Amino acid sequence: MNKVLIPTKLSDVAANTLKTAGYEVIQDADTPLDVQAASHPDTVALIVRSEKVTPEIMDSLPSLKLVIRAGAGYDNIDIVYARKKNVDVMNTPGANSNAVAEEVMAMILAYYRHLVQADTTTRAGLWEKKKYMGSELTKKTVGIIGLGNIGRNLVKRLQGFEPTLLGYDHFLARQRALNIGVTPTSIEDIFSQCDIITLHVPGGPSTHHMVNAELISRMKDGAVLINCSRYGVVDEEALAAAKAAGKTIGYLTDVHPKDAAGEKPSAAVADLLLPHLGANTREANTKAAKRAAEQMVAYFSDGDTSCVVNGESPNGLNPAHLQLAFLLAALARKAGGNKPIRRVECTFYGNLRVFRKWFTAPILEGLLPHAEKGLMPPAAEESLREHGIVFKAREPKDDKPYEDSITLDVVMEDEGEYFNTSVRGVVTEGIPMVSRLNNFNGLYADLRGTTIFLHYKDRPGIIATIGSALYSNGINIDNIAAPADHSTQEALAVLKTNKPVSDELLNKIAGEIDAITAFSLDV
Ligand SMILES: NC(=O)c1ccc[n+]([C@@H]2O[C@H](COP(=O)([O-])OP(=O)(O)OC[C@H]3O[C@@H](n4cnc5c(N)ncnc54)[C@H](O)[C@@H]3O)[C@@H](O)[C@H]2O)c1
Ligand SMILES: O=C(O)[C@H](O)COP(=O)(O)O
């Protein structure tokens, strides 16, 4: 029988669901996880909240297959080590987003109306009505950093207060943000313009001190910063220095280096300090518990890995094909002129067909260089959707018996007009090769490194002109292909160079040969 440890305070619904499904469950929120792990080395799965799941814990559980974080942020789990040990890690996306959104509302209103202090002084017999003159949330400008499950939930909760909503999220398409009533804005402008700024990004190295001295210096006097994301996202020393220098800004925080009793580093700088209460509602706890148990059953009974956050590609899929998908997408983006992408259709031929969902992440990364890296297939699909891109994997046609290869058609929009860029590629001798760009067949170009593309009216002497311009600038040509399209009398020169070619030089060459288009790709 599969043994599951739940070393945390979590609704009974998780244990009950799992027991009904035939699992042995040990739930103990009082004994430290390492002690429980030592007593139950045959554990196959863990459900945790903020408890740290370290390499040592994983090493002490040789049968461990799955760790589920009943919640959103999984920075308490060493996901890289878990992958090395072949342990899958999941979270329960969105299960506690309403709880956190409501907590933010409570924090804003409590701070604006001095509720915490007023309760204390009124109980003490004081009457400090004049002192507790408040502010109204209605019609304020609110900036939301991170428009994921919590950020978007918060948008809905705030809307009754008729706010101006500004948002910043690396991975959310402009139109999607506008559709939910948020104006996409740079993080700098959010800090300069907002009355309230609230953080809803994950913790970890990519967001460490994301709110730094420069951003803090932009805040208006009287503005308030809310941190319900993770300790470390705000440079609290910089915040303390700004406050000490006379800046009147509020700081409300729910997050700490450790979820434990004791002194809190934020105490001196925070105007409201909570003990990580964001997800602490009965409703969120029940929802996260139920999701965790259901995800676990689906994982062990049906192999459902859709919520895995540390996955890697399956056996039998050559990583060079993943790299090919990335390169084709990057090429299509550059060849199409970097315009807003509306639709992507791909065909995966030969044996690649069965692995088609694994290509979504490298295609996303090639199309959108700022997109989150290494996403699992469902998250990559969601990210494409969020960027307003329709993504479709077509069935290969029987009359095209290609070997393992990929075709990508990317539709971009420019001032209401739509343009298609079509690319195809294969892996030859382990190297990803682009075989076609639009009508130009037979390229077989290795695009790793720097490659320049010049499309021109075909006539003698062009390659010599390009070669001589590169030579004059000390650039060597490592490889060259120049297929012609006889139907249009046009040709495409594709030159791999030993170093990057500046835009200035490329434009000069394009001018000399009267090119139709010219671009470079550095990957
Ligand atoms: N205080 C609490 O009790 C509590 C509860 C739940 C979650 N959290 C924290 O909140 C975080 C967000 O939760 P969620 O459910 O909304 O997660 P989510 O994954 O749905 O959303 C996170 C969003 O942040 C964006 N993002 C990531 N890095 C970014 C960056 N560098 N710049 C701009 N945007 C970036 C992502 O694109 C995504 O839209 C969690 O990771 C967790 O750390 C805290
Ligand atoms: O990331 C999360 O889900 C929150 O930080 C909640 O943490 P908790 O489950 O320990 O309350």
Q: Which residue minimizes the CA distance to atom 7 of ligand 1?
A: 72
CATH class in words for 3-95+283-302 = alpha beta
Interface confidence, given as ipTM, is: 0.99
Q: How far does residue 290's CA lie from ligand 1's centre (Å)?
A: 21
How far, in Å, from the CA of 293 to the mean position of ligand 2?
17
- Please give the number of the atom of ligand 2 that sits closest to the Cα of 259: 10
| Closest ligand by atom to 201 CA | 1
Distance 13 CA to ligand 2 centre (A): 18
Tell me, using a 6 A CB cutoff, whether residue 276 lines ligand 1. Answer: yes
Instruction: Determine which residue's CA is closest to atom 9 belonging to ligand 2.
Output: 49
The pLDDT score that the predictor gives to residue 173 is 63
Burial call 322-341: b when 16+ CB within 10 Å, e when fewer: bbbbbbbbbbbbbbbeebeb
Q: Are 152 and 171 in contact (CB under 8 A)?
A: no
- CATH fold of the domain at 319-522: Alpha-Beta Plaits (3.30.70)
Compute the distance between CA of residue 213 and CA of residue 241 in angstroms, rounded to an integer. 9
pLDDT digit string (tens) for the chain, length 523 residues:
899 999 999 999 999 999 999 999 999 999 999 999 999 999 999 999 999 999 999 999 999 999 999 999 999 999 878 988 999 999 999 999 999 999 999 999 999 999 999 999 999 999 999 999 999 999 999 999 999 999 999 999 999 999 999 999 876 767 778 889 999 999 999 999 999 999 999 998 778 999 999 999 999 999 999 999 999 999 999 999 999 999 999 999 999 999 999 999 999 999 999 999 999 999 999 999 999 999 999 999 988 887 888 877 776 788 899 999 999 999 999 999 999 999 999 999 988 887 888 899 999 999 999 888 878 787 788 889 989 999 999 888 766 767 899 999 999 999 889 999 999 999 998 899 999 999 999 999 998 889 999 999 999 999 999 999 999 999 999 999 999 999 999 999 999 999 999 999 999 999 999 999 999 999 8
Q: Model pTM?
A: 0.71
pLDDT, residue 171, reads 66
Is 278 a pocket residue for ligand 1 (Cβ < 6 Å)? yes
Give CA–CA dist 371/336, Å, rounded: 18
- Predicted local distance difference test score (pLDDT) of residue 1: 81
Distance 176 CA to ligand 2 centre (A): 27
Give the residue extent of every domain in the chain.
3-95+283-302, 97-273, 319-522
Tell me whether domains 3-95+283-302 and 97-273 share a fold: yes
* 148 ligand 1 Cβ < 6 A: yes
**Shortest-distance atom of ligand 2 to CA 255:** 5
| β-strands 431-437, 445-446 pairing | antiparallel
Cα–ligand 2 centroid distance for 409 (angstroms): 41
- Cα angle 368, 206, 104; round to 5: 100
In DSSP terms, 142 is beta-bridged to 165, 196
CA distance 410 to 286: 43
Cα of 73 vs centre of ligand 2, distance in Å, is 7
Cβ neighbours, 10 Å, residue 473: 15
CATH architecture, domain defined by 97-273: 3-Layer(aba) Sandwich (3.40)
Q: What is the number of the ligand 2 atom nearest to the C-alpha of 276?
A: 11
Atom 6, ligand 2: residue with shortest CA distance: 279
Compute the distance from residue 95 Cα to the ligand 1 centre, in Å: 13
150 CA closest ligand 1 atom index: 16
pLDDT of residue 243: 97
